[in-house]
Amino acid sequence: MEHTKTYYKKKLETSLGEITIEGPLPSTELKKYYFHEQLIAFRPAQKQFEAILSIADFPEGRIIIARTDNTIIGYVTYLHPDPLERWSTFNMEELIELGAVEIIPSFRGEHVASNLLRISMMDSYMENYIVISTEYYWHWDLEGSNLSIWNYRKIMEKMMAAGGLLPAPTDDPEIISHPANCLMVRIGQNIQCESIERFDKLRFLSKHHHRSMREGL
């Protein structure tokens, strides 16, 4: 599978001034910008920037950024699921994960995240992917946002819907460990029926595993 990437860009007016949303960008372009020190949701900012630079150059990797003139203030990442995750079980080339979306606190509420997702999906090649996002409440900034778990979940759903991702059932143990967690999915228009069937099996891997064990007895 050839992972074709087409660059898109838009300007967004915010209460803090105009920002640029663009991508996907290779590491050579990303290195031209300063990575804001408040982008620390997943790891220290410099470490996260290093991770993003490596993702940008993966064949399937996509990094879309939001920036002021020279500072990255938000981003979204897409890449194949981690080999240690259940979502990599069948090595589906057409399955990619929205791995992270993060905006610095001062720009939250400015529709930056939803526009990052919209720009992501402007590339018609995204129709060749099943895009997933695993949402766990323990990754959410409940304290900083002053929101309840359920209000935060509503905001997450609305943001993901801007990119066409909708909640989908699964028996993944981590997701079903709390009712606020969820799997978000977008199935591209070019996805074949056999890929959808394989993905459905992947969503309910525990059920299929138990059935196989019973049939083997």
Task: Write the pLDDT tens digit of every residue in 79-96.
Answer: 999 999 999 999 999 999
Cis peptide before 24 (omega within 30 of 0): yes
At residue 206, the pLDDT reads 83
Closest CA to 185 of 30, 81, 56, 31: 81
Cβ atoms of 86 and 202 within 8 Å: the answer is: yes
Q: What angle do CA 189, 204, 207 make, to 5 degrees?
A: 155
What contacts 196, CB < 8 A, 6 or more positions away? 130, 187
Find the range with the poorest average confidence among 108-112, 149-153, 164-168, 204-208. Answer: 204-208
Enter the DSSP assignment of 138: G
Is the pTM here over 0.85, yes or no? yes
At 13, the pLDDT band (50, 70, 90 cuts) reads very high
What angle do the packed helices 149-161 and 112-120 form, to 10 degrees? 40
Q: What is the pLDDT of residues 35-67, one digit of tens each?
A: 999 999 899 999 999 999 999 999 999 999 999
183, 135 contact by CB (below 8 A): yes
Neighbours of 179 (CB within 10 A): 11
* 19-38 tens-digit pLDDT: 999 999 999 999 999 999 99
Contacts of 96 (CB under 8 A, 6+ apart): 60, 62, 78, 79, 80, 81, 129, 130, 131, 132
